[in-house]
Amino acid sequence: MVTSSEPTLNVSGTGAQKEIARNVFQVMSARGRFMADTAPIEVTFSSVAGYLGQTANVEEADALAALKANSKVFSLEERDEQLLVITTRLGIAPNACATAVNTHDFKARLMTPLPKPETPPAPPVERPRVDSGWSALEGFFDDVIEEFDEVEVTAEEEVAPLDELATGLEELTAELPDAPRTITVAVAPATDVSGVDDVELADAIRERLGADVRVASFGDQWMLEDRVTRLSRGELRRLKEYIQEQERPLTDDMLVQDVFNIRPGTEDFDLMRFAVNFRLSKEHREFEFVGTSGQRFWSTNNLPQIGTKRRKPNDIGTDLKYLLSEAAPAPRSVDSIDRVLTYFEYQHGLLPFDAEMRALMPAAMNADQKTAVLTFECPQSYTTYLVELRYPTPNRGGFVLGLDDFFTENLVPGALITIQRTENDGHYKVEYLPSSGESMRLFEVEDRRQRYVFRPTTFACTVDPSFLLSEDRFPRLNGEKPLDDKQRRRPESVISATFERVGQMHEGHGYSASFEDLLAAVNIERPFSADYLRQVLEQDDSGAFAIDPDRDDVYTYVPGTPV
């Protein structure tokens, strides 16, 4: 237990005044016993006079005179029409205490900078000196030079071969006493790369540098590893916490600006940005790269999912597995594509990563990259959306997720949209064709009661009528319930249920429906492309589905046939 000693109290005045001063200080120090030594202890004079009058029968005038006689211990201050008596636990008036104690407090140390250290003088540059051994060579070659001067070479004389001259020079050098020898290393022959394709040459250089541990690389940027700024564990933790605080992936530019407070355009910005990308790429457990070469996003664990929560992304990828059989064109080989939204795409805010989208979207920057976060800008509504491109896997198709708000605020199923790429491979523009306002009862899924309904809807976008789900076109869908997961997992079961919901009875024992109606309606339950729907209808081994020979592009379904 730590105890503090009683301060030495220097009181003055008459004997009675000293006694009064000691009594007042004892009471005030008891009041401020938990305060700092130099903190002012304030008490009103009226309460001090009242205390002295009750305990020691001291008059108010005598008390005031005793306090004034001890100005080094007490200070008197008029405040709000009241006289205050002020002292400290050290028994020193606050004014004297500030001069005596606070000569080097924390505030002074914090605000007073240290003197600028003197720059030591630059060390003198040592001049290279010639080896003293070379001074002994003076005169060694004088005779040789004179002999060569006396020889006259005419055009008729045969010039000695080059190898003979080299042999004679070696013999001449060997005769010189203690002559220094120069060793010439043969230069490696240059490799002619004029016939090599630029892409192949770049790949070869990239492969060679990538295998060198002394070279750091990220994307198409390279740097010597020992010159890359290292990030401490505390800095890595700050980066992770900032991403989690924002609850979304962030670009390397934002991380360098917001976490390290380095502004673009400064000489340190590009160096730190490369360091962040390279160092985070080594922290696989804590960080995941989800960007592109032009827009580098970083993510961490447990961030909120981008896009719909109606279905799990893995289930959507399983529904789109049929896309894996399509040919894969070169990434970013087209400038724009036009799409018609199906109901499944509209409801879940997604776009399948089919052949058209593959030709527009960027390839994965890293071999093990699973997702890429992109930005979709809609100039018509002055909004930009953060979307996620999920690349295909061996068992699941790819898709773009996160366009829920854009679809519900501007479009309806069947709307025509255009997606255009920009110079930045992570940024795209999406637009729709506006039209005059139109109202009709359109199809919806009532989530609370899990049933199909038609509700009045007003929209101002151009639509493809073949994908528009109106009550006039499909009245029997009203009141139906969505299929359970077991049924919707099989494409044949979805097609069978769709025939019964939108088809017409055919010869009393089956249903018939146009391919156009089937394509629009099957996309209520799960995604179907036109090619995939025809494949399932025409390659059915059970015989439940067949082409109607009497009508153009019409198919039939016979219930009860195992599919």
The per-residue DSSP string of 132-160 comes to: GGGGGGTTTTHHHHHHHHH----TTSPPP
pLDDT tens profile 504-548 = 987 767 899 999 999 999 999 999 999 999 999 999 888 899 999
Q: What are phi and psi of 280, to 5 degrees?
A: -70, -30
The residues facing 370 across adjacent strands are none
Same fold across 15-111 and 485-557: yes
CA atoms within 13 A on the CB side of 2: 0
Other C-beta atoms lying within 10 Å of the C-beta of residue 101: 14
Kindly state the DSSP code that residue 492 receives in the 8-state scheme: H
The predicted structure's pLDDT at residue 133: 54
Kindly state the DSSP code that residue 12 receives in the 8-state scheme: -
The predicted structure's pLDDT at residue 267: 86
pLDDT tens profile 399-449 = 999 999 999 999 999 999 999 999 999 999 999 999 998 999 999 999 888
Q: Tokens 């673009």 — which residue?
A: 264
**Residues in the chain, overall count:** 563
Sequence ranges of the domains in the chain: 15-111, 212-300, 313-362+370-476, 485-557
Rounded Cα–Cα distance for residues 97 and 87 (Å): 9
Q: How far is CA 192 from the centre of its chain?
A: 43
CA atoms within 13 A on the CB side of 435: 17
Reduced DSSP (H G I as helix, E B as strand, rest coil) percent helix, strand, coil of the chain, to 5: 35, 20, 45
The CATH-assigned architecture of domain 212-300 is Orthogonal Bundle (1.10)
Decide: 304 and 248 in contact? Cβ < 8 Å.
Answer: yes
SS (H, E, C) 232-265: CHHHHHHHHHHHHHHCCCEEHHHHHHHHHCCCCC
The CATH-assigned architecture of domain 485-557 is Orthogonal Bundle (1.10)
The predicted structure's pLDDT at residue 199: 79
Q: Which two tokens stand for residue 353?
A: 């990563």
Rounded Cα–Cα distance for residues 347 and 472 (Å): 21
Reference 323, options 360, 302, 351, 300; nearest CA is: 351
The predicted structure's pLDDT at residue 157: 46
Q: Using alpha carbons only, how large is the chain's radius of gyration in Å?
A: 45
Strand bridging mode 554-557 / 545-547: antiparallel
Decide: 563 and 498 in contact? Cβ < 8 Å.
Answer: no
Rounded Cα–Cα distance for residues 316 and 396 (Å): 8
Reading the chain (563 residues) residue by residue, the pLDDT tens digits are 444 566 778 888 888 888 888 888 888 888 888 888 888 989 998 888 888 888 888 888 888 898 888 888 899 888 888 888 999 988 888 875 555 445 556 666 677 777 777 777 777 776 666 555 555 545 545 554 454 444 444 444 444 454 554 555 455 555 545 545 555 555 566 677 777 777 788 888 888 887 888 999 998 888 999 999 999 999 999 999 999 999 999 999 999 999 999 999 898 999 999 999 999 999 999 999 999 999 999 999 889 999 888 899 999 999 999 999 998 899 999 999 999 999 999 999 999 999 999 999 999 998 899 999 999 999 999 999 999 999 999 999 999 999 999 999 999 999 999 999 999 999 999 999 999 989 999 999 998 888 999 999 999 999 999 999 999 999 999 999 999 999 999 999 999 999 999 999 877 678 999 999 999 999 999 999 999 999 999 998 888 999 998 899 999 999 876 66
Q: Classify domain 15-111 at the CATH topology level.
A: Arc Repressor Mutant, subunit A (1.10.10)
Q: How far is CA 535 from the centre of its chain?
A: 42
**One CATH from 2.60.40.10, 2.40.330.10, 2.160.10.10, 3.40.1390.10 for 313-362+370-476:** 2.40.330.10
The predicted structure's pLDDT at residue 98: 53
Other C-beta atoms lying within 10 Å of the C-beta of residue 530: 11
CA atoms within 13 A on the CB side of 551: 11
The predicted structure's pLDDT at residue 82: 87
Rounded Cα–Cα distance for residues 556 and 503 (Å): 9
